Chain A
């Protein structure tokens, strides 16, 4: 059975303090690993898709990387507006997504 585990469950950082969020997965034939950002009371907002080990993608202060077993979301010099829950998901079959529990990130000014 496909599984996605995210760690830590919650993370508090000071503004400017870089860190990484982890997403470990087990899937039979990875068709895509997705990162989303979710603000309270809102739906997830798409950030990145990664398809193969070694792939990296960047957007502003965020960089996502992928290995055969896990993905990291690196956040560099974060700002308070980066505070959100970050969700990782793997594609199961043609289109279905299996989500991890998320990491609640808080950036203190």
Chain B
């Protein structure tokens, strides 16, 4: 079964709305989670690394004030797309790794399809 849960799976909203996406590790603790963005027929691009109890690390070109990340517990990270515009429409995917065990792969959520009208 799924080990990483992402919610909601789909969001359609008006331009200017802020949207929050949740990512939960279901049966393990994750001090680090990752947020990716994927455009149609393209690969995953890492946006930011979410660190429990500290600030997220953003990749070059990703606006930290636009994409707010909070990692308040060892099983939950949230991504908030603030004042979303049509160009923010995309497929957002999170991942987490069981940090209690070495050599564990990243497990991914099922993604959130964000459509801004």
Interface residues of A (CB under 8 A from B): 32, 34, 36, 41-46, 49, 51, 87, 95-102, 104
Contact = CB atoms under 8 A, between A and B. Distances in A.
Nearest to B2: A43
Secondary structure call for the B interface: strand
B109 A97 contact: no
Given A42-B111, A43-B93, 11 more contacts: A32-B103, A32-B105, A41-B110, A43-B6, A43-B108, A43-B109, A44-B108, A45-B108, A95-B106, A101-B43, A104-B41
Contacts of A45: 108
Interface residues of B, number: 23
A102 B43 contact: yes
A97 B49 CA distance: 11
A97 B46 contact: yes
Interface string B54-75: 0000000000000000000000
Given A43-B111, A95-B32, A95-B49, A100 B43 contact: yes
